[in-house]
Amino acid sequence: MAIVLNTLLIVLTAIAIPGIINRTRAVLAGRKGVPFVQHLRNVNVLLRKGAVYSTTTTALFKIAPAIYLGAAIVAALMIPVADLYPLISFKGDVICFAYTLALARVIIIMAAMDTGSSFEGMGAAREALYGALIEPALMIGFATLALFCGYTSFADIFEYEQSFDLHLTIVMLLTAFLFVKITFVESGRVPVDDPRTHLELTMIHEVMCLDYSGIDMGMIHIAGWLKTACFSMIAANAVAATGCFHWWFATPLAILLTGLSVGIVESTQARNKLSRNTTFIVTISALAALIFFIGYLLKLNINI
C-alpha cells in the first residue's frame, strides 16, 4: 500500500508543479492566466494526434520519445516520498538514478542529431555541454546525502527522520537548495533556458524537439514533468528529514518549493545569455563541492 501511495504522490507532484508555475507567473504578472490544468489539456490533445516524421530520419528518431519517457518513469519510481517506500530500490540506486536520466538525455540528443537539422544540432550540443557540467553537482549532492545518512540508496537515505544538530541541519537545507538549483538546469527553465521561447538560435531543449509532433511530443512533455518531480522530491525529502518527516508534509513542500521558485524566477528574471550559462552551471557545481566539504568537516567535528 505504501509503495502504491508513493507512486501516486510522485505522479501528483509531476502534474501539480507545472500548474503552480503557471499560476504563480499569472499572479505576479497581475493577469488571470491559464487554468491550473491547462498543461494537462494540451498534452491530452497531443496524445490524441498522430506523429509526422521527416524522410531524413531513421527508426532512432521514432523510438526516442518512448525511451525518453521510459527512462523518466524508471527514475521516478526510485524516489521515495519521505517515509514511504519506492517501487524500485537497491544499494547504489542513486548512481543508477543519475545515469538513467543521462540515458534520457543521450537518446534525445541522438534523436536531434538524427534529423540533420543545424538548429537541432546546436540545441543538442548545448544540452550535452550543460549535462556534462551539471553532473558533478548532482553526484556531489548525492554524496552529501550519503555522507550524512550512511547509505547509497534513496529508500535508506530517506527511511526515517535524522537527528541532526543545528550545523548539520543547515547543511541539509543547503543541499535541498542545491537540488532546487539543479532542477532549473535539468528542467530547462529560466535563467538557463526558456520553454516559452520560439527563437531557434537561443533554444536548448525545445529546439531538439522541433520535428516532433502529436503523441511523441506529448511523451516528451510528460517525461519533463517526471524529471522535475524527481529533483523536487529529493529537495523536499532533504528538508523534511530535518524536521517533519512525513509524506503529507514532503509532497506539498515539493510542489510549492519548485513551483513557486520557478514561477517567481521566470517572472522576475530574464534568461541568461548563452555565454553565461556555463558560468552559472559551474557555479552550482562549486556550491555543491563547498556544501560537501563543510558537511565533511562538521561530521569530523572540526570547527571552521
Q: pLDDT of 168-209, one tens digit each?
A: 889 999 999 999 999 999 999 989 998 887 776 778 888 899
Q: pLDDT of 47-85, one tens digit each?
A: 999 999 988 899 999 999 999 999 999 999 999 998 899
Q: pLDDT of 218-275, one tens digit each?
A: 999 999 999 999 999 999 999 998 888 889 999 999 999 999 999 999 999 988 888 8
Q: pLDDT of 82-137, one tens digit each?
A: 889 999 999 999 999 999 999 999 999 999 999 998 889 999 999 999 999 999 99
Output the pLDDT for position 73. Answer: 97
- Rounded distance between C-alpha atoms, residue 181 and residue 162, angstroms: 23
Output the pLDDT for position 163. Answer: 66
- pLDDT higher than 90, residue 158: no
Sign of the CA dihedral with 294 first, then 233, 33, and 195 last = positive
Going from N- to C-terminal start, the domains of the chain cover: 2-299
Confidence of residue 210 (pLDDT cuts 50, 70, 90): confident
Output the pLDDT for position 303. Answer: 56
- pLDDT higher than 70, residue 160: no
Output the pLDDT for position 168. Answer: 82
Output the pLDDT for position 159. Answer: 77
- Rounded distance between C-alpha atoms, residue 248 and residue 19, angstroms: 19
pTM of the model: 0.95
